[in-house]
Chain A
Amino acid sequence: MTGWLSVRNVAIAALLLALLLLPVYVELGGSRFLLTLFTRILILAMASVSLNLILGYGGMMSFGHAAYLGIGGYAVGMLAHEAVFSGFIQWPVALLASALFALVIGALSLRTRGVYFIMITLAFAQMAYYIVAGLARYGGDDGLTIYKRSQFIAPINLSNKIQFYYICLGLLFASIYLVWRIVNSRFGLTIQGARSNDTRMRAIGFPTYRYKLVCFVIAGTMCGLAGALLSNHTDFVSPAMMYWTRSGDLIIMVVLGGMASAFGPLFGAVALLVLEEVLSGITEYWQIILGPLLLLVVLFARGGIDGLLAKVRHRVSHG
C-alpha cells in the first residue's frame, strides 16, 4: 500500500466528501433536520479543533473551553440586543472578547499544572457562567433570543440555511488548516516540546509560559468564533451554552476522535453528536447508556477513532 492511500486517509476523504455533499442530498429530498444537526456538528467540531490545539498538542487540560463558546455567543447576542446587527462589528467583538478572557484566565491558570490546571480552568469558566446568568438586562438565566442574524454585505446571508452550512464548513476547514500550520511551525513544535518535557524546554532557553499563553489565547479566540456561529445557528444564547458539562462534551469529542490529530476532533464531534441523536431516539434515558460507554472508551480505546483507523492500516500493511 502506498503511503497516502491508508485506511485513515480514505476515511477522512470520505467524511469530507459526505460533508460537502450533505446539502445536495437534503435538497434532493433528504430531511431538513439533517442540515440543522450537521451545521451544529460542524460548529462544535470547530470548537473541539481549537481545544485540541491546547489539549492534544499542548497538553493543557483545560476544562473550561465552553466559556469561549458562551463569550463569543453572548458578544453577538448582546450586540444584537442593542440593535447592532453588523457582523463586521459583532464578530470582531466576539473574537476580541474571547481573546481577552483567554489572556486573563490563561495568565493565571498557566502558573499551575496538572490537576490544579483542570480545576482552575473549570472554576473560572463557571465564574463566567454565573456572571452571564446574573445579567438581568440580557435575559439572565433564561437567555436571550436573537431576532436577526449577523448582517454582512450583499451576497452573504446567514439566514439562508445552506449558505450558513457552507460558511461553517469553510471556517471549520480553515481552522483545521490553521491548527495544522501552527503545530508544524517552530512555535507549534515548541508547544509540543513543552507538553512532553516542560523543564527541558525551559532549560534550553524557551520561555514556555509565554508560548503556552499565546497558544491558549489562539485556541480561545478560535472557540469564540465558533460561539458566534453557534448563536447565529440557534438564534438564541443562554448561560447553558457555557455550562461546564459543555466543556466536558468538547473534551469527549477531542479524546473520542483522537488527541493531537488534525482531523480527530471532527471525527469525535460527528461520532458523539450522531451517537447522542441515535441513542435519544432509542430511549428517553439515553445518558444512562452514554455514560458507561464513555468509561469503556477511556478504559479500552485510548487512541480514539483516529488511533483505531491508524491501527487498521497497520494490520493491512503488516498482515
Chain B
Amino acid sequence: MRIPMTLFIEQCLNGIQFGLLLFLLAAGLTLVFGIMDLVNLAHGSLYMMGAYFAATFVAWTGNFIFGVALALGATLLVGMAVEVIAMRRLYGRDHLDHVLGTFGLILFFDELVRLVWGPEGLTLPLPSWLNTSIQILPGVDYSAYKLSIIVVTLAVAIFLYVLVMRTRIGMLIRAGASNREMVGALGVNIKLLYTLVFGLGAALAGLAGLMQAPILTVQVGMGENILILAFVITVIGGIGSIRGALVAAIFVGFIDTLGRAFFPDLLRMAFTKEVAATAAPALSSMLIYLLMAIVLVVKPEGLFSASGK
C-alpha cells in the first residue's frame, strides 16, 4: 500500500484541527469540573447553541465575522443564565445529582432548538475569502478555513493559559478552586466569579460549535456525540487539568482522524477485502476507546491529574 504524501499531510492537519477543536470543548468541561467540582453533561448543548446562534446571526446580519461575534456573546449569556438559574443550586451536591440535573437540561435544550428552529438542520455558508485553499507546502493545498480554525484555537489556548496563570482573575479562579469559603471571606464575590467561569466554559463550547458549523450540518443532538469525545479526553488528560486536556485532545483528534482515513487500508493489507470492509468502520471508531482503556490501566487518574480528586 502506498499512501500519497500530500494526502497524509492533509490528514495530519485534519487531525490537529479536530483535536484543537475538541480541546475547546474539553477545556470548558475540565475548567468547570476542576473549579466548581461540577459534572456538566449539558456542555454539548452549549456547543449546539453556539452553532445555531452562528447560523442564525450570520444569515441575519449578512456578515460572517459580525454574526459569529454575536453568536459567541449569545452563548456566553445563555451559559451565565444557566448557571444562575440551575447550576448554582447544584454545587456541593452529589455527582449523580449533577448528571441527572444536566441530563434534564439536555432534554430541554434539544427540544427548545426543535421548537424554535424546527427539526431540519441549518447550514452556515462560508464567506468567499475563507472558502479557498492555501498552498502550505510546495504541492500541498489546505483549506483556508480549517487553517484558520487551527490558528484561532491555538490563540484561545494561549489566552486561557495567560488568563488562568498570569492575571488577577485567574489567580482568584485558582484560589476559588482550592478554597471557596476562604476566597469569599476575603471579600471576593465568588458567586459572580463562578458565573463568569461557567460563562467562559459555555463560550468555549459555543466557539467550538460555531467553528464546526460550516463543516457539518447544524442539527439537534450534534453536541451529544462530540461530548462523549470530550469526556474521553478529560479522562485521558486528567480531570481538572487544562494542559492534560490539550495533550489528550490532540492525541484523540489525531488517532480518530488518521484511524478513519487509513485504518481500512491497513486492514486490507492484513486480511481479505471483505473482512476489512466489514470490520474497519467498527474498529476505527473503537481506537480512541482502546487508547482510553490503555491509559486507565497505566494511570487511572489520567495523564496530568490536577488534584487527584
Contacts and interface: CB of A to CB of B under 8 A. Distances in A.
Nearest to B104: A294
Given A63-B99, A134-B281, A251-B100, A120 B235 contact: yes
B55 interface: no
A308 B6 CA distance: 65
B234 A119 contact: yes
Contact of A287 (B100, B110, B228, B292): B110
Contacts of A299: 89-90, 101
A28 interface: no
B230 to A, nearest CB: 9
Interface residues of A, number: 44
Contacts of A127: 285-286, 289
A126 interface: yes
Contacts of A285: 111, 114-115
A311 to B, nearest CB: 19
B286 A244 contact: no
Nearest to B101: A298
A222 interface: no
Interface in B92-135: 93, 95-97, 99-101, 103-112, 114-115
B103 A294 contact: yes
The size class of the interface chain B forms with chain A is 35 or more
Interface stretch (A71-79, A107-115, A172-180, A186-194): A107-115
B100 A298 contact: yes
B292 A61 contact: no
Contacts of B90: 298-299
Contacts of B285: 127, 130-131, 134
A295 B105 contact: yes
Contacts of A124: 289
A108 B297 contact: yes
Nearest to B112: A288
Contacts of A120: 235, 292, 296
10 closest residue pairs by CB, A with B = A294-B104, A291-B108, A134-B282, A291-B107, A134-B281, A130-B285, A127-B289, A288-B111, A287-B111, A295-B104
13 contacts: A55-B96, A111-B300, A116-B239, A116-B300, A116-B302, A120-B235, A123-B228, A126-B289, A130-B282, A134-B282, A251-B96, A252-B103, A292-B104
